């Protein structure tokens, strides 16, 4: 393993390093930040890392855009990049946009109902509701708060 | 109905069944929005769901003896094109999902009227249809990336449906938000895994993937892909330590949504897990046996006990049932982990039986909520006298949840114990029985509250409307019927298990 | 933004051009990079820009919210409908070869044109709907206080 860990190995796998850095940054933000909007931003970074993994996967050294020439005469020597991962990611980007806008819409509604978008404040409000319920209906176990 | 051309053999409608099952709800959803008529929305939704149900039933009939149907979207042959592939396992899941949605919809009408403002009804049913489309698509497709797309269609609409509970309790919003974050992380993990598989094999068709993994054996990329996929789907399944989104989501969602989701969403995810564990990756894959024995089985047993234990101490009936769902998912995972035919058949059968059982229970609770205004135990006291029919159905559901002989739940637990004994793992068989005793305790609490207490003084509840009672009782009778007429479930689940366990061979 | 004269004039000039460009990307999508997704977003940008500069109310007068919702549904129906037509012609779902049985390539050409039109309509609708949904919420800080 140590023998393989050369400069070429590091530079040659640059896209994977960046993928891992972005992925971990995104996940860290989702877990560590208490602000709901920041969580969504983290989720976006996390998803973007995956887009990068796929797109860099489709790259073929020296390859050009995989579009047929207008005259449909295909030169067998021309190398094309692999379009499939790119198309897959087009779908994943759309899914990502839908998730983001739905997440933000939920945040807008949460702010209207709870008056805050900070997680610890929301938890406190929920704890108060749960405490009131426990008083009314008896103690319960488990739950989010 | 079709004309012959020189190049192409015309297909008849019966050849299109695999795509029709998902196409009908998919087209009905925008149709509801386009028409924008409140009076037409519900009939369209119901008809679409019923048509899909009939289609699924025909599909199940044609594959129940083994074999499969392959449908090429756009006429592009697999492995390049997207393939829909129906065998006994997914036909069974399709049958369950469409069946539940068709029975929940008549029930949903009254329940939704009381829980969601009227101006949102059109969009609500459109979302419901999209959710159905997504779940069916996940089950029917034979293309790994297509699974992700349909999974996200169903998940996104699920988040919206759960958030609709905010008109009753604002915590539905945070529940939906939590589920959105966790669900998206799960789905993204799944995509990362698929990306790695694509990197290692150059294909996304499940049958093709299975062949190539079998040919080249396991390498580090495939192992990493396996880990990402299991964790990603695990979040959607709510495997025990990844279950945190579930209790709140089920508790605060509108009653009809909970009934539908509890009976279908996690079941479809379990199916995807089985498909990947057994068909795409081979059970002989060394890493996988270790994962199953040292990860899935312990977590499954933990779920069976911990979640049942937490369920006992709930004051909210809906929340109690949500925790019990996590425990029941444990039984399915245990069946998967046993890795023999009885075990996997138990998982498939329990998937079905638990689906109908939870549908009865959550629909029953929804009816109680409609009449008494809450699902807390002190609100449902004495309901056995005020709402005798609803309460009786809940009791039947509860018995099936425990696994009392003569109910559907008994069959799958019996298979599970059988599977454990075949492997010689008798302690696990004992644990299954012991954890069922925990179910006896929480079901008894429900019975006690409903029959042995007198109702709170301010409640003047009358029996639930007929449009709710009929669906509840159809499901309750199904619980008993599938407890006696066991050969239907047994045949289907054994065929499905054989198909799944045959690995890549089963995909040809 | 009543006082930003330059913004208003430039916007008026740009909106038409943006819409034209959206159509170019839309209908040239089968020969060159482009297609429904990109065209839909560009088209939506024209309306969103108009809304940002001239107020949401005016944008909604041009492109009322109910119409936006109908367009979202209509686009999906066009997409799915294309597949259904091929299904009734005896082909597989979304097999565009059905539209020209003797020249499947021509059929694919027509098919992708219609499907991309559906995609474009839906994406335009969704993007504008997202903008309306967020912009129509009452703001915490009024415009003058910025």
In a structure prediction context, what are the per-residue pLDDT tens digits for chain B, which is 508 residues long?
A: 344 444 566 677 778 889 999 999 999 999 999 998 888 999 999 999 999 999 999 999 888 887 888 899 888 888 888 999 898 888 989 999 999 999 999 999 999 998 899 889 999 999 999 999 999 999 999 999 999 999 999 999 999 999 999 998 899 999 999 999 999 999 999 999 999 999 999 899 998 898 888 888 778 888 899 999 999 999 999 998 899 999 999 999 999 999 999 999 999 999 999 999 888 887 776 567 777 778 889 999 999 999 999 999 888 999 999 999 999 999 999 999 888 889 999 999 999 999 999 999 999 999 998 888 788 888 888 888 888 999 999 999 999 999 999 899 999 999 999 999 998 889 999 999 999 999 999 999 999 988 888 877 667 778 888 899 999 999 999 999 998 888 888 888 888 888 888 766 555 5
- Decide if A105 touches C, using CB distance below 8 A: yes
Q: Are residues A43 and A108 in the same domain?
A: yes
Alpha-carbon gap, residue C26 to B307, rounded angstroms? 53
Residue B155 lies in a domain: no
- Decide if B252 touches A, using CB distance below 8 A: no
Confidence of residue A66 (pLDDT cuts 50, 70, 90): confident
Q: Tell me how many domains chain B contains.
A: 1
For residue C6, the distance in angstroms to the closest alpha carbon of chain A comes to 31
Q: Are residues A101 and A49 in the same domain?
A: yes
Question: What is the model's pLDDT at position A79?
Answer: 86
Tokens coding C125: 């609708």
Rg (alpha carbons) of chain A, rounded to whole number: 24
Question: Contact, A143 vs A130, CB < 8 A?
Answer: yes
Residue A143 lies in a domain: yes
Q: Are residues A54 and A104 in the same domain?
A: yes
- Decide if C72 touches B, using CB distance below 8 A: yes
The phi, psi pair for B325, rounded to 5°, reads: -60, -45
What does each C-alpha distance from C10 to A10, B139, C18, C50 come to in angstroms? 48, 51, 12, 11
pTM, entire model: 0.93
- Decide if C12 touches B, using CB distance below 8 A: no
Question: What is the model's pLDDT at position B286?
Answer: 59
Question: What is the model's pLDDT at position C143?
Answer: 55
Cβ contact B8–C91 (<8 Å) = yes
Residue B229 lies in a domain: no
Buried b (16+ CB within 10 A) or exposed e, B237-248: bbbbebbbbbbb
Nearest-CA neighbor of B191 among C50, C23, A99? Answer: A99
Confidence of residue C35 (pLDDT cuts 50, 70, 90): confident
Residue B346 lies in a domain: yes
Q: Which residues pair with B84 in a beta bridge?
A: B71, B141
- Decide if B454 touches C, using CB distance below 8 A: no
Question: What is the model's pLDDT at position C2?
Answer: 65
Interface of C with A in 7-46 (CB under 8 A): 31-33, 37
- Decide if B171 touches A, using CB distance below 8 A: yes
* Cβ contacts of B162 within 8 Å, gap of 6 or more: B172, B175, B176, B179, B249, B252, B253, B257, B261
Question: What is the model's pLDDT at position A144?
Answer: 46
Question: What is the model's pLDDT at position B3?
Answer: 41
- Chain C contacts of A65, Cβ < 8 Å? 33
Q: Which domain holds residue A33?
A: 9-64+79-114
- Decide if A74 touches C, using CB distance below 8 A: no
Question: What is the model's pLDDT at position B386?
Answer: 86
- Decide if B5 touches C, using CB distance below 8 A: yes
- Chain C contacts of A72, Cβ < 8 Å? none
Cβ contact C134–A104 (<8 Å) = yes
Cβ contact B313–A141 (<8 Å) = yes
- Decide if C70 touches B, using CB distance below 8 A: yes
Chains that touch B (3 or more CB pairs under 8 A): A, C
Q: Would the pLDDT of A1 be above 50?
A: no
The whole-number average pLDDT for the span C80-109 is: 84
End-to-end alpha-carbon separation of chain A, Å?
46
Q: Are residues A106 and A139 in the same domain?
A: no
Instruction: Give domain limits for chain C.
Output: 5-138
For residue A27, the distance in angstroms to the closest alpha carbon of chain B comes to 8
Transcribe B230-269 into DSSP letters: HHHHHHHHT-GGG-TTHHHHHHHS-HHHHHHHHHHHHHHH
Question: Contact, B495 vs B506, CB < 8 A?
Answer: no
State the count of interchain CB pairs (< 8 A) between A and C. 12
Q: Which helix (H) or strand (E) holds B86?
A: strand B83-86
Alpha-carbon gap, residue B140 to B136, rounded angstroms? 6
Q: Which domain holds residue B426?
A: 284-495
Q: Write down the mean pLDDT value for chain A.
A: 86
Confidence of residue A145 (pLDDT cuts 50, 70, 90): very low
Confidence of residue C130 (pLDDT cuts 50, 70, 90): very high
Q: Are residues A60 and A93 in the same domain?
A: yes
Percent of chain A with pLDDT over 70: 92
Question: What is the model's pLDDT at position B6?
Answer: 42
List the single residue in C with minimal CA-CA distance to A99. Answer: C130
Q: Tell me how many domains chain A contains.
A: 2
Q: Are residues A101 and A138 in the same domain?
A: no
Residue A74 lies in a domain: no
Question: CB count, 10 Å around CB of C130?
Answer: 20
Confidence of residue A57 (pLDDT cuts 50, 70, 90): confident
Q: Are residues A94 and A119 in the same domain?
A: no
């Amino acid at each position: 393993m140590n023998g393989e860990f050369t400069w070429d190995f590091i530079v040659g796998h640059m896209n994977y390093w960046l993928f891992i850095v972005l992925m971990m940054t995104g996940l860290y933000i989702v877990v560590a930040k208490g602000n709901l909007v920041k969580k969504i931003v983290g989720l976006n970074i996390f998803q973007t890392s995956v887009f990068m993994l796929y797109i860099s996967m489709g790259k073929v050294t020296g390859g050009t855009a995989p579009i047929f020439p207008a005259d449909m005469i295909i030169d067998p020597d021309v190398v094309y990049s692999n379009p499939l991962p790119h198309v897959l990611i087009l779908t994943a980007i759309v899914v990502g946009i839908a998730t983001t806008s739905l997440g933000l819409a939920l945040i807008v509604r949460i702010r209207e109902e709870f008056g805050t978008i900070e997680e610890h404040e929301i938890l406190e409000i929920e704890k108060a509701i749960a405490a009131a319920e426990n008083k009314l209906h008896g103690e319960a176990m488990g739950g989010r708060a | 109905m079709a004309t012959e051309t020189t190049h192409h053999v015309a297909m008849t409608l019966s050849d299109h069944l695999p795509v029709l099952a998902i196409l009908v709800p998919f087209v009905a959803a925008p149709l509801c929005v386009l028409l924008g008529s409140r009076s037409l929305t519900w009939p369209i939704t119901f008809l679409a769901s019923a048509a899909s149900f009939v289609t699924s039933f025909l599909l199940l009939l044609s594959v129940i003896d083994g074999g499969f149907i392959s449908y090429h979207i756009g006429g592009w042959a697999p492995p390049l094109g997207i393939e829909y592939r129906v065998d006994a396992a997914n036909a069974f899941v399709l049958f369950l999902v469409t069946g539940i949605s068709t029975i929940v919809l008549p029930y949903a009408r009254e329940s939704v009227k009381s829980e969601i403002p009227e101006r949102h009804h059109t969009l609500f049913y459109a979302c419901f249809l999209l959710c159905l489309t997504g779940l069916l698509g996940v089950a029917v497709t034979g293309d790994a990336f297509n699974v992700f797309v349909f999974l996200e269609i169903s998940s996104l609409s699920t988040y919206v449906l759960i958030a609709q509970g905010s008109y009753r309790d604002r915590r539905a919003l945070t529940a939906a938000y939590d589920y959105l974050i966790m669900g998206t992380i799960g789905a993204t993990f799944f995509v990362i895994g698929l990306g790695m598989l694509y990197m290692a094999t150059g294909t996304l068709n499940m049958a093709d993937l299975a062949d190539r993994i079998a040919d080249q054996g396991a390498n580090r990329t495939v192992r990493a892909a396996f880990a990402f996929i299991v964790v990603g789907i695990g979040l959607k399944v709510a495997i025990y330590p990844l279950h945190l989104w579930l209790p709140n989501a089920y508790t605060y969602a509108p009653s009809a949504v909970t009934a539908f989701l509890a009976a279908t969403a996690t079941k479809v995810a379990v199916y995807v897990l089985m498909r990947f564990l057994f068909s795409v990756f081979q059970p002989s894959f060394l890493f996988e046996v270790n994962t199953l024995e040292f990860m899935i089985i312990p977590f499954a047993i933990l779920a069976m006990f911990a979640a049942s234990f937490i369920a006992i101490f709930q004051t909210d009936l809906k929340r109690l049932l949500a925790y019990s769902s996590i425990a029941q998912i444990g039984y399915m995972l245990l069946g998967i982990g046993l890795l023999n035919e009885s075990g996997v058949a138990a998982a498939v059968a329990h998937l079905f039986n638990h689906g109908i059982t939870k549908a009865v229970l959550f629909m029953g609770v929804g009816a109680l909520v409609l009449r008494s205004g809450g699902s807390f135990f002190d609100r449902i006291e004495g309901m056995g006298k005020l709402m005798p029919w609803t309460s009786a159905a809940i009791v039947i559901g509860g018995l099936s949840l425990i696994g009392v002989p003569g109910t559907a739940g008994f069959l799958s637990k019996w298979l599970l114990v059988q599977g454990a004994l075949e492997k010689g793992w008798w302690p696990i068989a004992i644990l299954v029985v012991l954890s069922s005793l925990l179910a006896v305790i929480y079901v008894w609490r429900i019975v006690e509250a409903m029959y042995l207490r007198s109702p709170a003084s301010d409640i003047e509840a009358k029996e639930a409307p007929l449009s709710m009672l009929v669906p509840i009782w159809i499901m309750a009778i199904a619980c008993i019927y599938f407890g006696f007429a066991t050969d239907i479930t047994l045949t289907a689940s054994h065929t499905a298990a054989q198909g799944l366990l045959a690995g890549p061979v089963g995909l040809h | 933004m009543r006082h930003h004269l330059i913004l208003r004039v430039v916007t008026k000039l740009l909106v038409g051009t943006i819409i034209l460009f959206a159509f170019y990307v839309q209908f040239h999508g089968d020969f060159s990079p482009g297609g429904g997704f990109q065209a839909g977003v560009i088209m939506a940008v024209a309306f969103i820009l108009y809304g940002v500069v001239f107020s949401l109310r005016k944008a909604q007068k041009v492109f009322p919210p109910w119409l936006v919702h109908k367009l979202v549904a209509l686009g999906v129906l066009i997409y799915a409908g294309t597949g259904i037509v091929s299904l009734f012609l005896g082909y597989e779902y979304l097999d565009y070869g059905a539209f020209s049985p003797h020249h499947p390539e021509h059929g694919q050409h027509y098919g992708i044109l219609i499907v991309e039109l559906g995609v474009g309509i839906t994406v335009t609708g969704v993007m504008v709907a997202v903008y309306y949904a967020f912009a129509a919420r009452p703001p915490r800080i009024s415009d003058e206080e910025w």
